[in-house]
Structure 1
């Protein structure tokens, strides 16, 4: 029987005073058998996030607060993996914008050991607190918004190529170079490609699904998905991977609506029909989600899905055009140059 390994739980954070306390409390392993430390990497919070963590660390010395000068999640996890205790064998990446099921950390350790894999990923169920956030969550939990992403819909554990990052064998994570810190978004999918190329396997554990709190405004949602689309384009160019069908759909929607509106203004209202059908389908899908969940907030899922589709596609095209027309054709993040 294997002995319990030492685990480092890494929590990147930035202005998360509303969520950080519950996130940490749900991550702390129960019982005394698991040797762990919990490192919060703060990217320069201007709210009460740091003071909350500092107060929690006084009650539990295994919690420690560190700085993340680069601010991005990718840099935070890399730094956490480096500064973790020397005896730490497993690193766990945890979002401060989430809550975790009972026994989450111990379950990840068990899955890593029993499956003999380099990475364990988990399913993610988005949920909200207010009306708009619940509507955005409904969109992200449905095919209307997520397009069938496996870590959003999977109910059975299995080997996968990508998922929501949760646990890594520390030695392997460091050996492949950790996250590419020039990526501000989609760094997880990019790392998974390198992990699979190195011959390692990834296990999706659906039983350890986490609860995630989405953005609570349409503006913040649009910015997030624009960045997601740009990050996905960078990953595809870097590794010369063609997009999947579900990733092509938002691009098709954006192109269809642009052509529909342009043709409608020039040739008459009939040309608006494709866009009207799309809008009606999204709004109808939101109404269906509202009725299914018996929550009127589901009606906001339709507008949320439309924002997600168009923002993702715009971000993807922005990055693709930037790479295509750059003189040296290098895939370099704008943020990395600042």
Structure 2
């Protein structure tokens, strides 16, 4: 076959996605400009109607192959899919995403042009309800998830990590695939190891992927606590050799936790010193709440969404920070611990 042929294996880990899986698969089926393709749906042990929906999709479309991962972890599902893939380029798809037209063909051409082993675009969160829209704004803004280029956008070029990922299958297999002891942060870790072997990870702004955010406070807390917990696990394993922005949420949590203790100690000490201690303890609360209020007020969103940001931003930051602290201090047990799904 011609080396320039666009032959792609789409791999999608799936767990409890009955409301999203059909739209995600439809966006993959709509990809044009490919010479050959297959869609590998790797099913975890869902407790909703996901398996039934997938069975219906597979019956209608011969390109779909259904694989199984009873252990659920995304890292394991990706490794199962990559091992079974028939084609040299693997496109990871999340069941919460909707790929834009021409995504795969553009990605493969860009991957080859950049000489990269992994490539990704922007994770463009879009919400349908006012609450989801507030969460989406947090995803797309430095005020929510920090300044990673795949959240905020930027110029094409080498990147620290890649959203979803369009992989050179051979390069991923050469480093042993995803680390199956990680339930989250597995993509960042994979890219770190690819770059350590001399590979290039590339950001391609032409790829703009719609992501559907969590729709409830409970789901958002669970997701962000899990993300923080596994980021803390990675920080502990690497001895802190990670970007400084990952330390901001846990530092905030420590400062907020120390505040009441300083105020109490100040009351015991009394006098000017005690008053200064109480003021110092109150400072993190005053600064953080003022920052949240200012950030929400400046957001270019409808008033109802702006109001919800006052709760959404702390719901992102604080569970992540708490989870990260626990991940740093306490090793996570089992790949399904704190999966956030």
Which TM-score applies when normalising by structure 2?
Answer: 0.89
Question: Partners in 2 of 1:336 and 1:301 — Cα distance?
Answer: 32
What is the match of residue 173 of structure 1? Answer: 172
What is the match of residue 329 of structure 1? Answer: none
Match runs of 1:147-186 below 5 Å: 147-186=146-185
Question: Partners in 1 of 2:134 and 2:326 — Cα distance?
Answer: 27
Match runs of 1:1-338 below 5 Å: 2-31=3-32, 33-85=34-86, 88-267=87-266, 270=279, 271-289=281-299, 292-323=300-331, 333-336=332-335
Question: Partners in 2 of 1:283 and 1:98 — Cα distance?
Answer: 30
Q: Structure 2 unaligned segments of length 5 or more: list them.
A: 268-277
SS in 2 for 1:76: helix
Contact 1:34–1:106 (8 Å) recurs in 2: no
1:197 is displaced (CA, Å) by 0.7
SS in 1 for 2:88: strand
Contact 1:221–1:307 (8 Å) recurs in 2: yes
1:17 is displaced (CA, Å) by 1.2
1:34 is displaced (CA, Å) by 2.2
In structure 2, do the counterparts of structure 1 residues 30 and 336 end up closer, same or farther at CA, with 3 Å as the change threshold?
closer
SS in 2 for 1:164: coil
Question: Partners in 1 of 2:202 and 2:243 — Cα distance?
Answer: 21
Q: Structure 1 unaligned segments of length 5 or more: list them.
A: 324-332
Which TM-score applies when normalising by structure 1?
Answer: 0.90
Q: Which structure 1 residue ranges, 4+ long, deviate > 6 Å from structure 2?
A: none
SS in 2 for 1:199: coil
Contact 2:118–2:168 (8 Å) recurs in 1: yes
1:221 is displaced (CA, Å) by 1.5
SS in 2 for 1:120: strand
1:2 is displaced (CA, Å) by 4.2
Contact 1:54–1:64 (8 Å) recurs in 2: no
Contact 1:29–1:106 (8 Å) recurs in 2: no
Contact 1:50–1:65 (8 Å) recurs in 2: no
Contact 1:283–1:299 (8 Å) recurs in 2: no
